[in-house]
């Protein structure tokens, strides 16, 4: 199998082929999603929420992200793997950002990184890209800044924030990013940004005009059924399937119908 690369994604943008991306945090799901043919696997710092049970992405550490990334790398043969640099590992300065970036690349075998923010981190992104590491940007609702925003609602509905986002997108492209995630912004703004850039945009809650889409696996598979924002399409109800399956197992254990003779040595 031929690996999807950052060049593949650039070509997909130029031919109008939409890019599919989904999060993964472990070996088994990575293997399934790779087999399904997803273009990009994101080892998201949403692991902090869906794997560790925190209520934000702020607490997850670089070591924990490295562990998740190592597991995902072992499962995928074709998908391009992007790893989030977690909060606190790149915002202070370019030296620290580059050191964090190098650790993830050396210790995981992943192919690229994602950092949240615009102009304020453009110099750090340049340093990382100059070291030979592909970087994806992330604008709009950037969950590492949740305590600045106060809520997880739609960003850049007002003109000043929309103007800043457009400038940030250009700064990220200029800094050498190979793509940008646009999270929870109006579809019209995402369309304008996508058309103004030569690099692909990947939307989540950003409408259909982005060059690709990303969803958190637990949300789209219905593992997390309480989370139902407007932008989410649920492709399965695994919560029901899993609860029913485990319920059946419990009943079989209780009434001594599992294991039967064929299931015994
Ligand atoms: O961590 C994550 O899951 C993400 C996606 C929502 C883009 O950054
Ligand atoms: Na993230």
Q: What is the pLDDT of residues 29-45, one digit of tens each?
A: 999 999 999 999 999 99
What is the atom index within ligand 1 of the atom nearest the CA of 47?
1
Residues 166 and 247 in one domain: no
Residues 252 and 182 in one domain: no
Residues 264 and 178 in one domain: no
Q: How far is the CA of 135 from the centre of ligand 2 (A)?
A: 13
Residues 197 and 99 in one domain: yes
The per-residue pLDDT for 205 is 98
Which protein residue has the closest C-alpha to ligand 1 atom 8?
A: 44
Which protein residue has the closest C-alpha to ligand 1 atom 4?
A: 44
What is the atom index within ligand 1 of the atom nearest the CA of 45?
1
What pTM does this model have?
0.98
Q: How far is the CA of 114 from the centre of ligand 1 (A)?
A: 9
Residues 136 and 60 in one domain: yes
To the question of whether residue 46 is assigned a binding role by annotation, the answer is yes
- Active-site entry in 107, 158, 174, 183: 183
179 assigned to some structural domain: yes
Residues 180 and 249 in one domain: no
Residues 87 and 210 in one domain: yes
Residue 113 CA, chain-centre distance (Å), reads 10
Q: Is 85 helix (H, G, I), strand (E, B) or coil?
A: coil
Query: ipTM strictly over 0.90?
Result: yes
180 assigned to some structural domain: yes
Greatest CA separation found in the chain?
A: 70
195 is catalytic: no
Residues 122 and 157 in one domain: yes
Q: How far is the CA of 44 from the centre of ligand 2 (A)?
A: 4
190 assigned to some structural domain: yes
105 assigned to some structural domain: yes
Which protein residue has the closest C-alpha to ligand 1 atom 2?
A: 44
Residues 61 and 165 in one domain: yes
Per-residue pLDDT tens, the chain, 265 aa: give them: 999 999 999 999 999 999 999 999 999 999 999 999 999 999 999 999 999 999 999 999 999 999 999 999 999 999 999 999 999 999 999 999 999 999 999 999 999 999 999 999 999 999 999 999 999 999 999 999 999 999 999 999 999 999 999 999 999 999 999 999 999 999 999 999 999 999 999 999 999 999 999 999 999 999 988 999 999 999 999 999 999 999 999 999 999 999 999 999 9
108 assigned to some structural domain: yes
* Residue 39, domain CATH: 3.20.20.60
Domain count across the chain: 2
In a mutational test of the pocket of ligand 1, which residue from 138, 200, 214 has the highest number of ligand atoms less than 8 Å from its CB?
214
Within 6 Å (CB) of ligand 1, which residues are found? 23, 42, 44-46, 84, 181, 183, 204, 214, 216
Residues 230 and 244 in one domain: no
103 assigned to some structural domain: yes
Which protein residue has the closest C-alpha to ligand 1 atom 1?
A: 44
| Closest among 8, 16, 85 to 40, alpha carbons compared | 8
120 near 164, Cβ under 8 Å?
no
The per-residue pLDDT for 237 is 97
Q: Is 76 helix (H, G, I), strand (E, B) or coil?
A: coil
The per-residue pLDDT for 225 is 87
The per-residue pLDDT for 224 is 86
Q: How far is the CA of 47 from the centre of ligand 1 (A)?
A: 9
Q: How far is CA 129 from CA 98, 123, 172, 175, 220, in A?
A: 9, 10, 11, 8, 32
1 assigned to some structural domain: no
226 assigned to some structural domain: yes
Residues 190 and 253 in one domain: no
In a mutational test of the pocket of ligand 1, which residue from 42, 146, 201, 213 has the highest number of ligand atoms less than 8 Å from its CB?
42
Question: Could you tell me the residue range of the domain that residue 247 belongs to?
Answer: 240-265
Q: For residue 131, give both structure tokens.
A: 């070291």
What is the atom index within ligand 1 of the atom nearest the CA of 183?
7
Residues 126 and 211 in one domain: yes
């Amino acid at each position: 199998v031929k690996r999807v690369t950052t060049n593949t994604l650039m070509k997909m943008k130029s031919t109008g082929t939409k890019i599919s991306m989904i999060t993964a945090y472990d070996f088994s799901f990575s293997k399934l999603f790779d087999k399904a043919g997803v273009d990009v696997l994101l080892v998201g710092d949403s692991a902090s929420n869906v794997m560790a049970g925190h209520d934000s992405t702020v607490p997850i550490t670089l070591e924990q992200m490295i562990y998740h990334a190592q597991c995902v790398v072992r499962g995928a043969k074709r998908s391009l793997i992007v790893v989030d640099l977690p909060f606190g590992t790149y915002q202070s300065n370019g030296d620290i950002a580059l050191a964090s970036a190098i650790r993830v690349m050396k210790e995981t075998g992943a192919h690229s990184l994602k950092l949240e923010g615009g102009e304020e981190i453009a110099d750090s992104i340049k340093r990382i890209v100059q070291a030979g590491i592909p970087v994806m940007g992330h604008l709009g609702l950037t969950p590492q800044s949740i305590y600045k925003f106060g809520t997880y609602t739609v960003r850049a509905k007002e003109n000043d924030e929309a103007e800043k986002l457009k400038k940030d997108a250009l700064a990220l492209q200029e800094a050498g990013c190979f793509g940008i995630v646009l999270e929870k912004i109006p579809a019209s703004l995402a369309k304008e940004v996508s058309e103004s850039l030569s690099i692909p945009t990947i939307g989540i809650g950003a409408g259909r005009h982005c060059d690709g889409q990303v969803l958190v696996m637990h949300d789209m598979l219905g593992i997390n059924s309480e989370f139902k924002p407007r932008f989410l399409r649920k492709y399965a109800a695994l919560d029901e399937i899993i609860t029913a399956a485990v319920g059946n197992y419990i009943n079989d254990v209780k009434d001594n119908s599992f294991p039967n003779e064929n299931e015994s040595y």
